[in-house]
Amino acid sequence: MNKYLDNFYRLFSENDQEVYKAVLEKKDWILAPLYLPGDLSISKDEEGKNHFKALEALFDDVLLFNSLGDKRVNNFRYVKFKKKIIGDTHPHFYIEYDFNKIDQKGYQTVVANFYPCLSKKELVIDKNSNDIKELLKLFMIGEENEAVIVLDESNLLNNAFFAPIMKRVIVSESAPMEVKEVLIKLAEEKNIGYVEKAFIKQ
């Protein structure tokens, strides 16, 4: 069995020691560098004004969580990271996060709820089951290079989680100058690294 899937099942063991060991294994996974793909999509507020919501969240030091759009998991939200930047032409930038910098309360909230992604074939989801294990698998569907944090909405404020743990802004050399200017401002304001590099599609 895949080690990530084995870990997942042991989280729900009736043996407390097995659960504890499974959570400890996640420590090495979440404390490695994680990369949030940049999002420059525009949304409108109640007054009809345009906002770069995801970009604004970076300045507010919060991670935005998304809904899966499935009624069975309506109270859960997720955010998806890349474990590596392996070459891409999109998006224009990534934010590197360092969970070594998170406070104790934040760490305790996220570590057990961090899941490396697996393919549908590996997960073998029972679509007719409402068991929490089967429902959580829905969030874990993804590429080998991806991982998710899944939280109950009660842990979030307006679908946001305070996480002042950004380490670097990594920007495509081909990104528009206006994007670079905003990200340079972000790096200066947050006192974090700023790097430009070629994102070569592989």
**pLDDT (tens digit, 9 = 90+) per residue, 50-67?**
668 899 999 999 999 999
Count other C-beta atoms under 10 Å from residue 195's C-beta: 12
The pLDDT of residue 73 is: 94
The counts of H helices and E strands in the chain are: 7, 11
Average pLDDT over residues 62-76: 94
Share of the chain above pLDDT 90, in %: 79
Alpha helices in 115-176 (DSSP H): 120-123, 132-140
The pLDDT of residue 187 is: 97
Cβ-based neighbours of 48, under 8 Å, separated by 6 or more: none
Model confidence band, residue 198 (pLDDT cutoffs 50, 70, 90): confident
The pLDDT of residue 40 is: 81
Model confidence band, residue 7 (pLDDT cutoffs 50, 70, 90): very high
pLDDT for 89 beyond 60 = no
Average pLDDT over residues 183-196: 96
Model confidence band, residue 144 (pLDDT cutoffs 50, 70, 90): very high
pLDDT digits (tens, 9 = 90+) for 17-31: 999 999 999 999 999
Average pLDDT for the chain: 91
In angstroms, rounded to a whole number, what is the distance separating the alpha carbons of residues 187 and 185?
A: 5
The encoded tokens of residue 75 equal: 């109270």
Among residues 163, 152, 8, the alpha carbon closest in space to that of 78 is found at: 152
Phi, psi of 92 (to 5 degrees): -75, -20
The encoded tokens of residue 119 equal: 């393919």
Among residues 125, 114, 122, 119, the alpha carbon closest in space to that of 141 is found at: 119
CA distances in angstroms from 42 to 52, 53, 55, listed in the order given: 5, 7, 10
CA 126 to chain centre: 25
Rounding to the nearest 10 degrees, give the CA dihedral for residues 15, 17, 23, 25: -120
pLDDT digits (tens, 9 = 90+) for 108-121: 999 999 999 999 99
